[in-house]
């Protein structure tokens, strides 16, 4: 399975017209075969054969002013040609258009939009945290509604034919409320777990980004397939677990606490696998940004790349939070 971020980019980018040399076309461009024919092609010169009306005029006598020696006249002639030449020289000496001038995505675009989205995520988390302290009932209700809304927004962004910056911004803010309330509950039960989870998440992201930047980790077809299949599998696993747990059919807490090899909780193994899959998704999406910048995709796709990276970071944080809870329990 291919990278869903690059699928949307390539699908739109591959339909854009290019010149025979392979460069992107400008508005109004037409191939030579489609250009309108010359309406004067094949017509005879209507002035051919007519005598020159100025040929019989007598040249001025020697010594009379001709206008060529007049400094004022010379200055007027020079002024008439001075502006076009200055414009031509300015055009030739101007710097070449960069990616920003051509409306192409850059690393700065992704960084700026990431700061916007993660800033909104943090603001929403602050609100959710305060709600968890003030009224647990309101916080739980907000979490439930927020999960449904963010699920719908995520699917809308993922499968929409256009890039939806407004939906991505709304997702960041609402998801922040959900994370804030959930983190507040974890902090109440396991004091200090949130700070540890945040620091661990930052370390994982920093190490992954550094390894990718220096070429120690590279994206490949196998990495993309594992990341995509793994993330989809975990999505359905969590949905089924939620349904079974809420319906009372299966006690998922007992399942996660089941000791594998007699001492490792099953939830720990699942959490470690989930974090590994999340890191592979992060590598895949880092590579999507790199390919997008090198290919010169439109700047609007920086929103989609930001959304993909943000969802990876959120997933890794939640898995680390859950994993730490197994080691901080007071059994």
Residue 183: band (very low, low, confident or very high) from pLDDT cuts 50, 70, 90: very high
Give per-residue pLDDT as tens, 210-231.
999 998 988 988 999 999 999 9
Q: What is the pTM of this model?
A: 0.72
Residue 113 belongs to some domain of the structure: yes
What number is the average pLDDT over the span 171-197? 94
Instruction: Say which range, 20-24, 113-117, 146-150, 236-240, has the weakest mean pLDDT.
Output: 20-24
Give per-residue pLDDT as tens, 244-259.
888 878 788 787 888 8
User: CB–CB of 121/114 below 8 Å?
Assistant: no
User: What is the pLDDT, as a whole number, of residue 52?
Assistant: 60
- Closest alpha carbon to 284 in 197, 202, 222: 222
User: What is the pLDDT, as a whole number, of residue 258?
Assistant: 82
Residue 74 belongs to some domain of the structure: no
Using the predicted structure, report yes or no on whether residue 73 has a pLDDT greater than 60.
Answer: no
Residue 242 belongs to some domain of the structure: yes
Q: pLDDT averaged over the chain?
A: 80
Residue 159 belongs to some domain of the structure: yes
Using the predicted structure, report yes or no on whether residue 193 has a pLDDT greater than 50.
Answer: yes
- Closest alpha carbon to 286 in 173, 204, 167: 204
Residue 7 belongs to some domain of the structure: no
Rg (CA), the chain: 33
Using the predicted structure, report yes or no on whether residue 267 has a pLDDT greater than 70.
Answer: yes
* Interatomic CA distance for residues 170 and 167, integer angstroms: 5
* Interatomic CA distance for residues 307 and 163, integer angstroms: 10
Domain that holds residue 213: 104-327
Structural domains counted in the chain: 1
User: What is the pLDDT, as a whole number, of residue 249?
Assistant: 81
User: What is the pLDDT, as a whole number, of residue 256?
Assistant: 82
Give per-residue pLDDT as tens, 14-31.
445 555 554 555 555 566
Residue 29 belongs to some domain of the structure: no
* Interatomic CA distance for residues 49 and 119, integer angstroms: 78
Residue 1: band (very low, low, confident or very high) from pLDDT cuts 50, 70, 90: very low
Residue 131 belongs to some domain of the structure: yes
Residue 19 belongs to some domain of the structure: no
Three-state DSSP state, 298: strand
């Amino acid at each position: 399975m291919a990278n869903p971020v690059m699928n949307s980019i390539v699908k739109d980018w591959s339909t854009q017209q290019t010149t025979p040399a392979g460069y992107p076309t400008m508005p109004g461009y037409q191939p030579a075969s489609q250009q309108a024919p010359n309406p004067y092609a094949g017509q005879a010169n209507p002035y051919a054969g007519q005598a020159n009306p100025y040929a019989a005029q007598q040249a001025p006598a020697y010594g009379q002013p001709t206008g060529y020696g007049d400094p004022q006249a010379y200055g007027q002639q020079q002024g008439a040609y001075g502006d076009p030449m200055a414009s031509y020289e300015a055009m030739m000496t101007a710097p070449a258009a960069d990616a920003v001038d051509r409306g192409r995505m850059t690393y700065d675009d992704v960084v700026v939009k990431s700061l916007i989205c993660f800033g909104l995520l943090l603001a929403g988390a602050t609100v959710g945290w305060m709600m968890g302290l003030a009224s647990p009932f309101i916080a739980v209700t907000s979490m439930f509604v927020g999960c449904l809304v963010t699920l719908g927004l995520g699917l809308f962004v993922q499968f929409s034919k256009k890039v939806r910056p407004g939906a991505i911004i709304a997702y960041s803010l609402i998801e922040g409320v959900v994370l804030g309330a959930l983190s507040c509950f974890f902090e109440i039960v396991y004091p200090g777990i949130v700070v540890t989870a945040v620091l661990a998440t930052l370390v994982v992201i920093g190490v992954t980004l550094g390894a990718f930047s220096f070429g120690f980790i590279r994206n490949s077809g196998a990495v993309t397939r594992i990341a995509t299949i793994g993330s989809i599998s975990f999505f359905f696993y969590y949905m089924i677990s939620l349904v079974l747990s809420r319906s009372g059919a299966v006690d998922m807490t007992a399942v996660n606490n089941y000791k594998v090899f007699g001492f490792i909780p099953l939830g720990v193994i699942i959490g470690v696998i989930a974090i590994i899959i999340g890191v592979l998704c992060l590598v895949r999406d880092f590579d999507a940004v790199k390919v997008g910048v090198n290919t010169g995709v439109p700047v609007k796709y920086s929103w989609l790349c930001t959304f993909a990276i943000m969802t990876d970071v959120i997933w890794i944080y939640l898995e680390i939070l859950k994993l730490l809870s197994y080691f901080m329990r007071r059994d």
